[in-house]
């Protein structure tokens, strides 16, 4: 037991310090536990030896598989642009007061989590918040962890708010207690939720380090505001046909600056007064890469790759293209040649979507632009064609700029699959793990994601972190370590006033729920709490409420609750980030409980 405690302590220190990667620490922890029970065989409570199978079973845990599958489902929503319509509706408010909008969404998530499973709720909110944050250029680390925390706080308000609540109520009922009412926990939980929300919304974002991925850091200064000149050719079925300018602007071209409308031999220049776009027009616009990506993947596809070359349409065999930026190299054969005359599509299989020149923005037809050294081309094509540009000496491929863009317009399928996944899980027609796996499979089978994109959505850090944590939990339970700590606390405070014991019990459960899991901790401590209450002649219900509230304090580690794992990758968090922001919240809730619980006891 003490050797297990030592291994867990070293593992927690390794996760927090991150001197080596989380993956290495997780694997080393599992290996250390396997070696311990190999050289010193030990029989658990059931009399069976703790085997490698016992320690490795966590890697097939349904909760872990559920989290990974839900990450794939969420990636399908993002990849198809399915949340674009939602974010556009929130766009006006977000553009004016983005932080207020995010705050209102977080409060809404907390309120909803009291009445529905918080895991699918976080999955719903993740892409919406990510899109709003991206538009407002707010680091996702500022609001991803708060999203998980408000969902956990809200889930502690009612009986069905969390699986932990239901689990504790079930164990208590098996021990002969009366059933816990739907809102019975609300009075004692409300002060904790209010204090927790104030901390999460006002204090915690300032404690979280803004952190971006390497790609975002590279692109932040160089690519985010870069404007590319792009031509949009209108055929009979194009969604822009019939668009009329108002106050010199075209409402359908949000985020784009219209430089010129070419109509046969005539060029129409700004300001545009009551101009109506017609078939055969070529609209020259300037826009950032992000705006152009949205124009390619929206429901009303404003930019079609097949229309970007005057040559024969490119044979796209996939529903996805890759966009990348490339600089015209000094001495390139492209210098002095027009974009179309350069015939990039014939020689490389790629098309030129946009063009950018540092010195000036041009208003001539993009195909007639004479390229110069240093010009930046926004190039699209299949992943293999883009990769071959590394060997091309005429352009210098900016590797970090490559991003895959879906052009298959499958947003409707993605929304349908996601909605069905959530509905089946919420109504319990299927288990959560089965619903999540089926949803992930459907995303790939329907073409919303390809296998490579689905694989990238699975975060190996989460997989190894949770697997090693469950191995630690199995070792603690087998050696009696968890029960030893629990009984020690109850024994130490057995002669103290009831409130002192409740406070100590709350703190002990809050610590364990972040080391094991909330469900394992709840099952472990519920019988102990009920027994202690009966020995003291106190109300078992109060002790059960304490277990529920403390087991929901899963804020200090990413392994404490599965919503923490869901936001870990999108928020680019490290293990230490949860300690920095979560430990103060756990202590704050413990102090709040200690001060407010006597009021509940007196009722």
The domain that holds 329 is classified in CATH as 3.30.70.1450
Residue 147 pLDDT class (50, 70, 90 cuts): very high
pLDDT at 223 over 60: no
Q: What is the pLDDT of residue 18?
A: 67
Same domain, 238 and 158: no
Average pLDDT over residues 460-484: 79
Residue 156: inside a domain, yes or no?
Answer: yes
Same domain, 375 and 466: no
Same domain, 261 and 208: no
Q: What is the pLDDT of residue 341?
A: 59
Same domain, 589 and 496: yes
Same domain, 124 and 259: no
Residue 422: inside a domain, yes or no?
Answer: no
Q: How many domains does the chain have?
A: 2
Burial 283-304 (b: 16+ CB within 10 A, else e): bbbbbbbbbbbbbbbbeeebbe
* β 351-356/320-328 pair status: unpaired
Average pLDDT over residues 73-84: 73
d(C-alpha 59, C-alpha 566), whole Å: 16
Rounded percentage of the chain residues whose pLDDT exceeds 70: 83
Please say whether the beta carbons of 311 and 390 come within 8 A. Answer: no
**Sign of the CA dihedral 69, 73, 74, 78?**
positive
pLDDT at 30 over 80: yes
Same domain, 234 and 341: yes
Bridge partners (DSSP) listed for residue 43: 49
Same domain, 189 and 253: no
Same domain, 173 and 232: no
Q: What is the pLDDT of residue 123?
A: 74
pLDDT at 477 over 60: yes
Same domain, 147 and 112: yes
Same domain, 379 and 240: yes
pTM: predicted TM-score of the whole model, two decimal places: 0.60
| Nearest partner of 490 among 508, 477, 478, 515, judged by Cα | 508
Please provide the average confidence, as pLDDT, over all residues in the chain. 80
What's CA 170's distance to the chain center, in Å?
32
Element of type H or E holding 534? helix 518-536
Convert the pLDDT of each residue in 239-273 to its tens digit: 888 888 887 788 888 878 888 888 887 888 887 88
What are the residues whose beta carbons fall under 8 Å from the beta carbon of 117, sequence distance 6 or more? Answer: 163, 425, 426, 432
Element of type H or E holding 337? none
pLDDT at 466 over 60: yes
Integer angstrom CA distances of residue 558 from 12, 236, 293: 12, 53, 33
Residue 439: inside a domain, yes or no?
Answer: no
Residue 435: inside a domain, yes or no?
Answer: no
Domain that holds residue 537: 2-213+460-602
pLDDT at 491 over 80: no
Q: Which of 406, 425, 449 is the last residue of a domain?
A: 406
Higher per-residue confidence, 561 vs 299: 561
**Kindly report the CA angle at 197 between 194 and 202, in degrees rounded to 5?**
125
Please say whether the beta carbons of 326 and 398 come within 8 A. Answer: yes
Please say whether the beta carbons of 531 and 564 come within 8 A. Answer: no
Same domain, 265 and 178: no
What are the residues whose beta carbons fall under 8 Å from the beta carbon of 124, sequence distance 6 or more? Answer: 418, 422
């Amino acid at each position: 037991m003490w050797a297990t405690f030592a291994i867990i302590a070293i593992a927690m220190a390794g996760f927090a310090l991150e001197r080596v990667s989380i993956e290495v620490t997780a694997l080393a922890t599992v290996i250390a536990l396997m070696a311990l029970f190999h050289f010193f065989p030990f029989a658990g409570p059931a009399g069976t030896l703790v085997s490698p199978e016992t320690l490795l079973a966590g890697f097939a845990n349904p909760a872990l598989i559920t989290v990974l599958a839900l990450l794939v489902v969420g990636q399908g929503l993002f990849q198809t642009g399915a949340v674009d319509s939602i974010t556009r509706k929130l766009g006006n408010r977000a553009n004016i007061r983005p932080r207020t909008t995010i705050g209102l969404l977080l409060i809404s998530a907390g309120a909803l989590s009291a009445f529905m499973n918080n895991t699918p709720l976080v999955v719903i909110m993740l892409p919406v918040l990510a899109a709003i944050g991206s538009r407002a250029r707010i680091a996702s680390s500022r609001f991803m962890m708060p999203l998980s925390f408000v969902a956990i706080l809200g889930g502690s308000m009612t009986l069905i708010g969390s699986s932990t609540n239901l689990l504790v109520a079930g164990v208590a009922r098996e021990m002969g207690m009366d059933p816990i009412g739907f809102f019975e926990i609300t009075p004692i939980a409300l002060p904790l939720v209010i204090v927790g929300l104030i901390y999460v919304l006002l204090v915690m974002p300032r404690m979280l380090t803004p952190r971006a991925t390497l790609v975002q850091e590279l692109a932040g200064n160089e690519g985010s505001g870069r404007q590319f000149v792009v031509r949009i050719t209108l055929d009979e079925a194009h969604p822009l046909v019939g668009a009329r300018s108002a106050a010199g602007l075209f409402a359908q071209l949000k985020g784009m600056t219209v430089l010129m409308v070419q109509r046969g031999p005539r060029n129409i220049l700004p300001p545009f007064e009551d101009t109506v776009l017609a078939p055969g027009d070529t609209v020259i616009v300037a826009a950032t890469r992000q705006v152009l990506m949205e124009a390619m993947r929206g429901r009303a596809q404003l930019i079609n790759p097949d229309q970007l070359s005057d040559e024969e349409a490119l044979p796209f065999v996939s529903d996805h293209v890759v966009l990348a930026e490339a600089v015209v190299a000094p001495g390139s054969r492209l210098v002095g040649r027009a974009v179309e005359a350069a015939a990039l599509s014939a020689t490389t299989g790629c098309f030129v979507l946009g063009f950018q020149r540092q010195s000036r923005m041009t208003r001539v037809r993009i195909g007639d632009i004479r390229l110069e050294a240093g010009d930046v081309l926004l190039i699209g094509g299949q992943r293999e064609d883009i990769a071959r540009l590394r060997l091309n000496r005429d352009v210098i491929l900016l590797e970090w700029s490559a991003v895959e863009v879906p052009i298959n317009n499958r947003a409707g399928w993605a929304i349908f699959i996601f909605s069905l996944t959530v509905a089946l899980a919420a109504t319990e027609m299927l288990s959560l793990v089965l619903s999540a796996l089926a949803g992930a499979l459907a995303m790939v089978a329907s073409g919303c994601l390809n296998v490579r994109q689905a694989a990238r959505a699975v975060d190996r850090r989460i997989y190894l972190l949770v697997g090693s944590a469950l191995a630690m939990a199995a070792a603690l339970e087998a050696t009696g370590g968890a029960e030893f700590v629990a009984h020690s606390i109850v024994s130490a405070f057995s002669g103290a006033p009831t409130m002192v014991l409740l406070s100590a019990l709350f703190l002990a459960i809050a610590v364990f729920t972040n080391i094991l899991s909330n469900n394992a901790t709840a099952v472990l401590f519920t019988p102990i709490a009920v027994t202690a209450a009966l020995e003291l002649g106190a109300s078992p219900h109060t002790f059960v409420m304490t277990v529920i509230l403390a087991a929901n304090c899963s804020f200090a580690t990413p392994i404490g609750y599965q919503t923490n794992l869901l936001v870990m990758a999108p928020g680019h968090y490290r293990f230490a980030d949860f300690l920095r922001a979560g430990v103060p919240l756990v202590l704050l809730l413990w102090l709040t409980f200690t001060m407010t619980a006597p009021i509940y006891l007196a009722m």
